[in-house]
Every structure is written in C-alpha cells, then in structure tokens.
Amino acid sequence: MSRLDQVEESATLRIADLTNELKKRGKDILSFSLGEPDFDTPRHIVDAANEAMSTGKTHYAPSAGIPELRDAIAAKLKNDNAIDVTGKDIIVTPGAKQAIFEACFGVLNKGDEAILLEPSWVSYDACIKMSEAKTVWVKSNEDGSIPADFGKHITKKTRMVILNSPNNPSGAVLTKKDLQHVADLAVDHDFYVLSDEIYEKISYGEKHYSIGSMIPDRTITVNGFSKAYAMAGWRIGYVTAPKPVFKNLLKVQQHTISSPTTFVQYGALAALNGSQDCVTEMVKQFKARRDVVMKGLKDIGLECPTPEGAFYAYPKVDGNSEKIAEGLLDAGVGLTPGSAFGPDSNDHLRMSYASSMEQIVEGLARMKKYFANQ
C-alpha cells in the first residue's frame, strides 16, 4: 500500500464541494461546513498588499519569508506567547496547513508514532500518514481536556504529540495544567509537541497559553492569519521550531513551494503591525453567533458543551453522523459529520458559525424541523 492509499480526502472540503455542486443545481442549502470567516479582510491589510504589488514586490521572496515579517512575527510571539525567538527562527508559510505538513514531514519517519487527541482536525492524521508514521488516537475528556491517563499511550516510538487549542472541531481550550502535563511527559519521554494555535485570538474568556513558553526546545509552534484576520484565501501562516527541526522544515519549504507569495507577506505585516480593533470586533460577533447557536441547539434537544474558542459547535447526535449529515443536506443544511474528526467521533456533528446571523437562525430552524421529524 502506498502512503497516499491510506489517506482519505478532506471531509470538510468534500462536504463543501458537494454543497456547492448542489447549489449549482438549484438546491437551497445553507453551508456550515467550512472553517472560513465570512468577513472581508480588513481594508488596511488589503491596501498594504495592493501597495506592495504596485511598487514591484512581485518577485521571489527569501524562502523563509521577508525579514520584516519574520521580525514582526518573532515580536508577536515574544509579547503574546512568551516564546523568546528572533526573526531568524521563523519560517513564513503559505498557510498554517503547509507549516503542519512541513513539521510532520520534517520530524516523522516510517515506524514513528504521533499522538492525536480526539476529536481532531481532519488534516493532522493525513499529514502523519503521508510522513509514513502511525497515528495513535487518544480520546479527550468530554470537556476537551487532557485525560489523566494520557501518559499510558506513550511508547518508545512516540515522536510527536499534536495539540490544537482552541480546538477544531470542539472549541475547547486547554488549560495551563493540561499543557504542563504534556510538557512534563515530553521532557520525560523525549518527543516533540506540535502546537497548532491558529484560533488563538478567537477566544471567549479563557486565557490562551502556549506550550512553547514551557518547553521551547521541544515545541513546534504553528500559527497564521486566516482565522483572526479573515485572510483564509491569502494562504499565509508561520512556524517556529527548535534548531534541529527548523533546518528540516526549511528544507521541505525550499524544495516544495520555494517561498510564500511576496505581496501577501506585506498584507500579513500590516495585519500584525496595524490596529487590532478589527480582530476584537470579529471575535465579538463570533461570540454573539455562538450564543445563538448554543440556544438553538438546546432548543433542538442536542447536547453540546459551550465552545470557549474558535467558531465551531460540536453537538452530540443519536446515530450515524454521516447518515445524519446526508439527511440534513437534503433538508438544506450542510454540516460536517463527526466521523471526520476521529475513529470514535461518529456520534457528533460540527457546525461552523462563521456565517451571518441571518443564515445561522435559518439554519437552526431547518435543523429543528429535520430532527423533529426523525
């Protein structure tokens, strides 16, 4: 079996493609499947990229990114995350997903194991498999926290643990105690932690902690601009890692995408250096939407822990999530089946509330009608 034979296509993108195809056929469908903010990118970011294009910044950039952006990211990591790095310790990537692939491909080898906490974003498992390593699934607690017996899943083959907080798909936020638990195990058992912090700024009260501030020599920290700054289509992210790993990541970048798009990097620079009021306003609206979604799911009779971050609700359902998702699609609502997020998650659905309030209200009404008829 080849390495790609065991990798399934992205469930979220598959549902999105199916939804778009049905829409083209005239089907009235409200899609809550993709994790993409519906806001336009803030004007000052767009203007910075436009200016960069207009002034000739359309040539190859250095493979690791333009120095100004790398320095700004390092400053952000130091100020916001207590991760003490310089611009030379940063690689700018075309999206956080590319950074995650580079980290897996740069660290994992055939026979290695990588631990995923379930539920888990769909592409982690794929990146592990494409690196010819084995995924070890560990079920999170119901509130999304690290289980007390997490350490029993670590073996001599464990090379990496992947964390995502706030979590996609559950919206759970890991506490400092959770992270310290994993950090202590990483030191004791000599493995790396890949910390995906793409939803860091979309939090509704819980404090965000970066495990890279605890064990910098064992942490690969990934972040990006798509969620907080509504820059999903720009494809711009970044990663910092311990020096031995960093060299491998840079090799992967040099021999795959060469460098991220040059003028896009100037937009990202403006995002970091400009006013953060746009982020505050978007998070405020996400929180209002979350509250409407939680009330709506409760009215439907679906159990769902309140998400503390990101922009997803992860309700539990009675039955096969794939069949339920198909039924909801017929009812005009596109949600992602929980089976996409781990082998024991087929009793959940993921609903993205990165959509307008009007669509959310109508979508919940359609869902209520569907479940009432089951």
Residue with tokens 């100020």: 79
pLDDT of 374 > 90? The answer is: no
Distance in angstroms (rounded) separating the CA atoms of residues 287 and 246: 36
Return all residues near 22 (Cβ < 8 A) that are at least 6 apart: 29, 329
Tokens for 49, please give them: 């990229």
- 11 — pLDDT class (breaks 50, 70, 90): low
pLDDT, position 27? 82
**Is residue 369's pLDDT more than 90?**
yes
Q: How far apart are CA 95 and CA 116, in angstroms?
A: 21
Which are the contacts of 160, defined by CB distance < 8 A and separation ≥ 6? 103, 104, 107, 108, 112, 114, 115, 133, 191, 192, 193, 194
Query: Residue 155's closest CA among 126, 184, 127, 185?
Result: 185
The CATH number given to 11-41+277-372 is 3.90.1150.10
pTM of the model: 0.95
pLDDT at residue 154, rounded to an integer:
98
Q: pLDDT tens, 121-160?
A: 999 999 999 999 999 999 999 999 999 999 999 999 999 9
Residue ranges of domains in the chain: 11-41+277-372, 60-273
134 neighbors 114 (Cβ within 8 angstroms):
yes
The confidence score (pLDDT) of residue 19 equals 77
The residue whose two tokens read 């993709």 is 34
Start-to-end CA distance of the chain, whole Å, equals 41
Write out the E strands in 42-123: 90-93, 113-118
- Architecture in CATH for domain 60-273: 3-Layer(aba) Sandwich (3.40)
Q: Is 31 helix (H, G, I), strand (E, B) or coil?
A: strand
Instruction: Kindly give the interhelix angle for 11-24 and 321-330, rounded to the nearest 10 degrees.
Output: 20
